[in-house]
Structure 1
Amino acid sequence: MKITINIDCTPIEARTFFGLPDVTALNDAMVSQMQMRLEKGLDPQEVDQAVRAWMSGASAGLGEWQKAFWAAMKGAVGPTDPTQGAE
């Protein structure tokens, strides 16, 4: 059996639904700071190093979030083995 669920929502609605924080202000501040540094003549290599430093844990954090999401979904659906939970 294959089940497909399509959810039509904005990124803001998705963040709110999953209880994630709104990081719009933080993102705006980071972009503003990068623009300011670039306007002052920041070396492109320094930009690359700064972005790598700021985003070093982003991919690991995303992986952990995905694991937690799938664990929550499996828990909501219940056991996939029909013999589990039978009394």
Structure 2
Amino acid sequence: MKVTVDIDCTPEEARRFLGLPDLGPVHEAYVERMTRMVTDGTSTEAFGEMMKNWGPMSDAGLAMWRQMAEQMTGKRG
């Protein structure tokens, strides 16, 4: 026997139903800080340190972010 159930709900309703936390404020803070770092011309060292703290990445992933920051700011770390 096969049973199919279709649930019509928004992502917010599904998140609440499953008891998952609302990470919207965390996401907004992350995007705001990233935007500020790019527009203010923050050093690539500070950008790399932020990425180390905020994201579980390997050295290869961190090197990619550092290179991207250097290209956006025109500075070499």
TM-score range normalised by the length of the shorter chain: 0.5 to 0.7
Alpha-carbon distance, 1:49 to partner: 8.0
Root-mean-square deviation over aligned CA pairs = 3.0
The equivalent residue for 1:38 is 38
* Residues 40-62 of structure 1: per-residue CA shift (max 9 Å, x gap): 23578x868855763428xxxxx
The equivalent residue for 2:54 is 54
- % identical equivalent positions: 38
Alpha-carbon distance, 1:26 to partner: 0.8
TM-score of the superposition, structure 1-length normalised? 0.48
For structure 1, the residue ranges without an aligned partner over 5 or more in a row are 58-87
TM-score of the superposition, structure 2-length normalised? 0.53
* Residues 11-62 of structure 1: per-residue CA shift (max 9 Å, x gap): 1101100111111111110010010011123578x868855763428xxxxx
Aligned-partner SS, 1:15:
helix
Greater length-normalized contact order (CA 8 Å, ≥ 6 residues apart)? 2
* Alignment: residue pair count: 57
For structure 2, the residue ranges without an aligned partner over 5 or more in a row are 58-77
